[in-house]
Chains A and B, each alone.
Chain A
Amino acid sequence: MRFVVLRYGTAPALGGGDDLAAEELAGADAATTVVWVDGRAHVLQGPAARDAGPVTAVRVLDAPHLDAVLGSLDAMPGATYEIRPCALVGGRP
């Protein structure tokens, strides 16, 4: 199963040897945001306001089960992580 791990806050670099991708994101002030207002898209400089705070890193990996992902995070304290399985849908990213 494929999982995405979203990191919030700062911590040691995210990733392991078997990861499909492990990317550290630049600061939120480097973000460009697309928002929709009344059916029209607007491109803005800066991050979208999110109650959860900015995502600071993303990791994509294949693992047999969730506990394997959680085990790999035990060595990466100092931040909060959200782990989400990926859906497999034709034509979608």
Chain B
Amino acid sequence: MATTTTMCLVLLYGDEKAWATLDDEQRARLDAQHRDFAGALASAGHEQLGGGQLTFTADAVSVRRSGDGPALPDGLRHLGQRHDVVEGPYAETTEQLGGYYLVRTGDVRGLAELVASRLGEGAEIRPLVGGAS
């Protein structure tokens, strides 16, 4: 019987204020941790399809329907009639999305265990719609 695989997005969350204070040595250790994780993915039978590291939320721009949510801050500008464009993240949160991996796996639980054992960051693993094969 063929093994069922699922494509998953691994969303990595953490406190970007803490990330911002890392010195060069700590940053290098974190990079090595991710290289190690990428190698461990393949060794454990998971397939990494992509991934990326996001810049801090200060660089974010958010788009929402006109009239949604609280009053918009200064700096708002309009894009057509349907959206408001605002500098900053969608919502202020205690943890921020800092990066992601796109992984094809036959073992979501095993993937989660690998994330837990190799990366010192909180994560949410979400299957993709139509990602099972």
| C-alpha spacing A43/B117, complex, angstroms | 10
| C-alpha spacing A24/B8, complex, angstroms | 10
B72 at the interface (CB under 8 A from A): no
- Size category of the B interface is 35 or more
Report yes or no: B90 in contact with A26, Cβ–Cβ below 8 A: no
Q: Mark B49-93, 1 if CB is under 8 A from A, else 0.
A: 011111101011111110010000000000110110100011111
| C-alpha spacing A33/B8, complex, angstroms | 12
Number of interface residues of A (CB under 8 A): 52
Supposing A26-B127, A89-B31 touch, asked if A4 and B52 sit within 8 A by C-beta, the answer is: yes
Q: Mark A19-32, 1 if CB is under 8 A from B, else 0.
A: 01101111010111
Q: Mark B18-35, 1 if CB is under 8 A from A, else 0.
A: 000000000000111011
Supposing A2-B52, A93-B101 touch, asked if A33 and B32 sit within 8 A by C-beta, the answer is: no
B residues less than 8 Å from A77 (CB atoms): 65, 82-83
